[in-house]
Amino acid sequence: MATKSPNWQKLKERLKSSWQKIIAPKGKSILFVCLANICRSPLAEALLREKIKQAHFSQSIKVDSASIENWRNGDKADSRVIQLLKEHQIPYQGLKSRLLKPMDAKRFDLIICMDTTIYDATRERLGESYFSKIVPFSNFLEDQADVDDPMLTKDFQTTYQQIDQGTDKIIHYLQNNTMNQSASDSKIQ
């Protein structure tokens, strides 16, 4: 499992000072970003969509995913991701890789990056004026570690468990936060 980077505390402090945007259950949009958009981010997209539906605010929150690299653009989610989603009876239709675009910074209220490298690349690509919208997925994990890339670890089950735990925290956050509270100011439980 990935460990915290040495600069983790600095990163968390930068997030606290920069993130002023609010997420609330109505009319909001969330984008997950990973390297190729065939494993982690589409898995997070599918899980969060299902949990939003179960929480009864599916009509008001848009969820999507994207990649920072263009090599798999247009490809479906990895077959092992599809298999995991089938096993857990999570709808997976329409999961297709696409590249992160500059207009995504305007279209999405929250951009969640699956690891620190993706977080840094996304911030660089979208620019400083959008830093407040960009957060690492690890903010929603108890151990605050990066989400393992199953293409490297070959452990899709652990990645599923990390994303399942994190999306539970995102739902909890969405259900319990008000329009006057930012994610960096609230304790994610």
Q: Look up 39 and say whether it is catalytic.
A: no
Q: Is 181 helix (H, G, I), strand (E, B) or coil?
A: coil
Among residues 34, 64, 72, 123, the one annotated as catalytic is 34
Among residues 39, 40, 72, 78, the one annotated as catalytic is 40
At 177, the pLDDT band (50, 70, 90 cuts) reads low
pLDDT at residue 28, rounded to an integer:
86
The fraction of the chain above a pLDDT of 70, given in percent, is 78
**Mean pLDDT of the 137-164 span:** 95
Domains and CATH numbers, the chain: 28-173 (3.40.50.2300)
Among residues 78, 115, 146, 149, the one annotated as catalytic is 149
Instruction: Give the contacts of 42 (CB within 8 A, at least 6 positions apart).
Output: 32, 65, 77, 81, 92, 95, 97
- The length of the chain in residues reads 189
At 5, the pLDDT band (50, 70, 90 cuts) reads low
Global pTM value: 0.81
Q: Which amino acid is at 77?
A: A
Q: Look up 49 and say whether it is catalytic.
A: no
Q: Find the distance separating the first CA and the last CA of the chain, reported in whole Å.
A: 21
169 vs 11 pLDDT, higher one: 169
Q: Look up 113 and say whether it is catalytic.
A: no
Our separate counts of H helices and E strands in the chain read 7, 4
